[in-house]
Structure 1
Amino acid sequence: MPEGLNPQLASNGISEQRVKPLITVVIPAYNYAASVARSAQSILGQRDDRTELLIIDDGSTDATPEVINALHLGYPEQFRSIRRKNGGLASVRNLGIREATADWLVFLDADDEFVQGALAKLLEHIQSNAHSRLVIGEHISVSEEGRRRRHTIGQIPETGFERVKAYLIDKTLGLSNGACAMHRDVFAPGGYPEQFRNSEDLPVFAQTLARYPVSTLAEPLLLLYKHGDSLRHHVGHGQAVGTQVVDEVFSRLPAEMQSLREDFYAQRCLSLFRSAYLAKDYEAAKRYYSAALRHDWRLLFKTSYTRKAVRIWLGKT
């Protein structure tokens, strides 16, 4: 994990923490002036002394600093904030881990919000499940049109191997930042890889599922807002990371899980294919689909992907 603090930090907020909280909620914010107040207020409206809120402004160039300052005026000494030179989401999360007072962390995106009343349920769950090191909660996705869909939790496999397989390969175990709480112990194998601007959570979630006890909270914790205009941005960073994330993930996993590597490589290529297809970057989509087939020809039987690939090669997109 990166050491030391960025020398160009500026911080505001609580001058002295009197009681060690149980959870620190970290909100990374880069140019989220339009939504960071909503995100922060979803925590401030239900927190008590067991919860610390930390907002990290990652060098925003919009009005995010002014919005955070206004929040300080409206909620004096109720949260801390840090402003720093832009370094990317992974480095912000690593800074949040170092700066957090609590042993449990929740990373809440600045355009999402916590469900009203969910914080108390999460605190109660943590206190009742002392063995757990990862709490997986439910979330509600909100479309641009305002439609809501609740995402429930299925059966969580008991062994680390099966959990990692379900997460990386089978895609039957989905994790969302903001709907998960992580004990700081899970970052011992490594923090968020700062060389990545996308998919930085994959290695951390994988190492956690592989090595640490997991519990589930069958309650919606997060309102996750979908944004159509973020797709091309996501695809650009995703292609920059490419398949490098495969090496990063498996460098953190035990020897007995290395047998999953080839399957994950193929799955990663399919994921990049799908993102490129949706963004209408058909040349990139061809490359990723071809790479996936080279690693596992059986992917031809995944008809939803094969149909899209055929449309590209026939020029019917």
Structure 2
Amino acid sequence: MKSPEVLISLVVPAYNYGKLLPRALDSVFGQWADDLELIVVNDGSRDNTLEVLAGYSARYPQLQVVDQANAGAAAARNKGIALARGRYVLLLDADDELAPGAIETLREVLRANADVGMVLGGQISVFPDGKERLRLPTPVPRASARELARSYLLEKRITVSHCCTLFARELLLRRPYPEGLRTSEDIPVFAFLVVNAKVVTTDVPIARIHKHPDSLRHNRENEEDYAMNLVDEVFASLPDECQDLSVRYRAQRYLSLFRAALLSGDRSSARRFYGQALRLSPMQAMRWTYLRKASRLVVA
């Protein structure tokens, strides 16, 4: 008997989230259908993640579990995407969950929009104090590749997030997640998709995103190298007409480093990072929000 065609592959990278993983899995199986597949990539977890997955595999034989040595979220996502059979992929984080009815909403969007490359959905942010906030997707205008890249990278008028976004698998295969980046590995992928994909939106919530205090921590080891590698990764997959934006984006990353250094009390690094941004893009660095902070670093 021929297996049903898979429309949506749900890929869950999991690392040390055994206590929260059931919430994500239950949210998928609660709206299961034959046109879905679920792949969980255990990225070398050291907690009880594999035990949790073994219990679910016994109850749900359709669950596919992949176990790999710890290689990071980018590698786990790439592994799941490579194994997926669906035309579309939804990347669900192990500590989040699908909203009720999310899959049917996505089916309806796909039925109404042929050859769509990316579906941006609504999301419900759930904070540690129990408060919730509905966030609606930002429409993506019809514009040139350069205008789209500028809107996403520099002006931040376009927002893309995992869990509430559906991707055409063939596009993710063309632009895999860069496994050499420690953080922000999604930005090069999202920039490529914003420029290359036909994008539609739905205001219906696709996921519930749980915010954690540890998500706000910032590892500053080798931070400048990582930030500049990120810029290189972003523009490596963008067309020629976008390349002139790389200097401004490099300045923006230095301004992000500047803010992080200020927050950690590292005034010396903050001054250096601000100086780099100022040299690259004076107009960007002299915006009042940055200039006001930098003026406090002036030593008489």
Query: Normalising by structure 1, what TM-score?
Result: 0.87
Count matched residues: 299
Describe the SS at the equivalent of 1:216.
Answer: strand
Structure 2 equivalent of residue 190 of structure 1: 175
- Between the aligned partners of 2:206 and 2:298, the Cα distance in structure 1 is 42
Describe the SS at the equivalent of 1:219.
Answer: strand
Q: Equivalent of 1:155, from 139, 144, 149?
A: 139
Instruction: Report the CA distance shift for 1:309/1:40 in structure 2 as closer, same or farther (over 3 A).
Output: farther
**Percentage of matched positions with identical amino acids:** 37
Describe the SS at the equivalent of 2:217.
Answer: helix
1:41-74 deviation per Cα after TM superposition (whole angstroms, max 9, x unaligned): 111111211221111100101111111112223x
Check whether the contact 2:277–2:285 (CA below 8 A) recurs between aligned residues.
no
- Between the aligned partners of 1:212 and 1:118, the Cα distance in structure 2 is 21
Q: Following TM superposition, by how much is the alpha carbon of 1:305 offset from its aligned partner in structure 2, in angstroms? A: 2.9
Q: Does 1:263 align with 2:263?
A: no
Structure 2 equivalent of residue 216 of structure 1: 201
Q: Does 1:180 align with 2:157?
A: no
The equivalences for 1:124-163 within 5 A come to 124-159=108-143, 160-163=145-148
- Between the aligned partners of 2:182 and 2:30, the Cα distance in structure 1 is 31
- Between the aligned partners of 1:178 and 1:51, the Cα distance in structure 2 is 15
Range moving further from structure 2, 227-236 or 31-40: 227-236
Q: Equivalent of 1:34, from 19, 43, 60?
A: 19
Instruction: Report the CA distance shift for 1:81/1:282 in structure 2 as closer, same or farther (over 3 A).
Output: farther
The equivalences for 1:41-56 within 5 A come to 41-56=26-41
Structure 2 equivalent of residue 251 of structure 1: 236
1:5-27 deviation per Cα after TM superposition (whole angstroms, max 9, x unaligned): xxxxxxxxxxx982121001111
Structure 2 equivalent of residue 95 of structure 1: 79
- Between the aligned partners of 2:265 and 2:28, the Cα distance in structure 1 is 38
Describe the SS at the equivalent of 1:243.
Answer: helix
Structure 2 equivalent of residue 293 of structure 1: 278
Residue type of the alignment partner of 1:128: A
- Between the aligned partners of 1:225 and 1:299, the Cα distance in structure 2 is 33
Q: Equivalent of 1:82, from 44, 66, 69?
A: 66
Q: Following TM superposition, by how much is the alpha carbon of 1:255 offset from its aligned partner in structure 2, in angstroms? A: 0.8
- Between the aligned partners of 1:180 and 1:256, the Cα distance in structure 2 is 26
- Between the aligned partners of 1:17 and 1:244, the Cα distance in structure 2 is 45
Q: Following TM superposition, by how much is the alpha carbon of 1:123 offset from its aligned partner in structure 2, in angstroms? A: 1.7
Check whether the contact 1:189–1:207 (CA below 8 A) recurs between aligned residues.
no
The equivalences for 1:299-310 within 5 A come to 299-310=284-295
Instruction: Report the CA distance shift for 1:116/1:310 in structure 2 as closer, same or farther (over 3 A).
Output: farther
Structure 1 equivalent of residue 216 of structure 2: 231
Residue type of the alignment partner of 1:147: K
Residue type of the alignment partner of 1:129: N
Query: Normalising by structure 2, what TM-score?
Result: 0.91
Residue type of the alignment partner of 1:69: A
- Between the aligned partners of 1:70 and 1:85, the Cα distance in structure 2 is 21
Gaps of 5+ in 1: 1-15
Check whether the contact 1:28–1:110 (CA below 8 A) recurs between aligned residues.
yes
Check whether the contact 2:139–2:200 (CA below 8 A) recurs between aligned residues.
no
Residue type of the alignment partner of 1:169: L
Check whether the contact 1:232–1:279 (CA below 8 A) recurs between aligned residues.
no
1:123-178 deviation per Cα after TM superposition (whole angstroms, max 9, x unaligned): 22122212211111121212211221222123322123222111101011111011
